[in-house]
Amino acid sequence: MIRKVSYESQERREAQVLAALNAEGIKSVEEANQICDEAGVDPYLMCEETQRICFENAKWAYVVGAAIAIKKGCKNAADAAEAIGEGLQAFCIPGSVADDRKVGIGHGNLAARLLREEPQLLDGAFVADKVVGKGAAALMILGGVEELFADVVSRAALDLFAAAGKAVAYTVAVPHIINRADDGICPVERLCAEAQTAGECLPLIEGFIRKMQERNE
């Protein structure tokens, strides 16, 4: 979704944010938002839904970080976490304690380390999510998630969880997840429609991600 870019203390953060983006060949925060939009991800909304009270600079920091990860062509979650950390760091006000202590970079590196050194991090986990389609369900199953609570879940996702013997609780079950334009089925949901198992979904999702990355190179 295309939004007007505005965040707290913008005049104090902007130069550092643009420097981080320019280093990856991205001209502006608006372009970063467009890169995420074309890749089918909405970090701004994810941040907002995860923590309702978060500031605008946090939402845009994740947009910038995600765009950097896409431009870098990150192939796994750990590498993406490090790239997102660059986005978080860019939004630390120059000269502040957070900037001096590299808090953003630290968050990204910590997440990357957990993903690399604790690959079974989700094994046996209980996960709560707002919207879960078949693609997300496949990744959760392959990651070892044991139980899920979802606000909205697709029937295809429920079938996949049931086949894997995973417990699911939810508020609403829908025929399929709608895309962000609200004019059709989510592209990943559609892509995985014929897959019978989580394992069959994985190469389809990986191929989709590669195509999105190639479009932004």
3-state class of 129 per DSSP? strand
Global pTM reads: 0.59
The residue count of the chain comes to 217
Q: Where are the domains of the chain?
A: 10-117, 126-215
Give the integer Cα–Cα distance in Å for 139 and 136.
5
- CA 16 from centroid of its chain's CA atoms: 23
Q: Is the dihedral of CA 168, 173, 174, 175 positive or negative?
A: positive
Do the beta carbons of residue 92 and residue 98 sit within 8 Å?
Answer: yes
Give the integer Cα–Cα distance in Å for 53 and 79.
28
- Smallest CA-to-CA distance from 14 within 71, 64, 55 is with 64
Fold of 126-215: Cytidine Deaminase; domain 2 (3.40.140)
* Amino acid identity, position 212: M
pLDDT tens digits, the chain, 217 residues: what are they?
Answer: 778 999 999 999 999 999 999 999 999 999 999 999 998 889 998 888 777 778 999 999 999 999 999 999 998 888 999 999 999 999 999 999 888 888 888 888 877 776 677 667 678 888 888 889 999 999 889 888 899 999 899 999 999 999 999 999 999 999 998 877 778 888 889 999 999 999 899 888 888 877 776 665 5
Give the integer Cα–Cα distance in Å for 166 and 89.
38
